[in-house]
Every structure is written in C-alpha cells, then in structure tokens.
Amino acid sequence: MLFRLNTLRAVVVDIPMDAKYANESSSLKITKIIGEFFFKHLRNLTKRIFYNYYLRDMSLASLELPLGIVLLLFGAGYGGYHWVLSAQNGINTAVGTVVLSAMSILVGIQFILAFINHDINSVPTRVYRSDR
C-alpha cells in the first residue's frame, strides 16, 4: 500500500497505537516468506524508481543513479580483472590502473549517494487540497 501511495505522491502519517494481543500466537514463519517478501519489495523499489525518476519526471537524480552504477561496476570489474591478472603473473599493477579503478568506484559511490539523498529529500510532506 505504501508503494501505491508513493506513486500518488500522497502524504503518509504514522499514527502510533498500542497493539493488544490476548493469548493469540502468530502462525507467521519468517523463513517461509522471506524470499517472496524480498523479491516483491525489490520489484516495487524498481517500479518506484522508474515511475518517479524516468516516467513522471526527469531530474539530475535520473542521471546520477545509472551513471553511479555503471562507474561502480566498471571500477570493480576493471580493478578486479587487473588485480587477478597481476597476481597470476606475479607483477605489480601499474599505478594508473589502480587509480582509474579506485576513482571510478569512488565517483560511482558518490553518484549513488547523491541519488539516495535526492530520493530521501523528495518525500512529500505537504498536503495539497484539490477542492480549492
């Protein structure tokens, strides 16, 4: 339900309540539903990002996420490949190779963090009335 409310840009308020259980016991088994729970939330996260950042509105965050992922994967793949290659050959990896992979990883992480910051700050907080 929170996913659908987010697609509507609705403001959600958490109302505290005291849960009162008598002698009931839960039949919920975490090990049975954890996979389904994880994959459904991952699907909703992907939909939410697509709807909010690519379908409905384009912003700087729309570029930061894919660039961050590409740079992070490139840096890890390139650095890992050359690390294994140099370990097999018994030679040191060139400084430029290490710096290129390290900078790609760092810039990729910074882009992903900037996207997360934008996503957190874009949570709706004001109620807009349509009857005015």
Are both 52 and 73 inside the same structural domain?
A: no
Query: CB count, 10 Å around CB of 104?
Result: 20
C-alpha dihedral (48, 52, 56, 60), degrees to nearest 10: -150
Are both 101 and 70 inside the same structural domain?
A: yes
Are both 74 and 48 inside the same structural domain?
A: no
Are both 65 and 120 inside the same structural domain?
A: yes
**pTM (2 decimals)?**
0.79
Assess if residue 20 is contained within a domain: no
Are both 53 and 63 inside the same structural domain?
A: no
Are both 117 and 66 inside the same structural domain?
A: yes
pLDDT exceeds cutoff 70 at 101? yes
More confident residue, 93 or 25: 93
Range of the domain at 76: 59-125
Are both 45 and 81 inside the same structural domain?
A: no
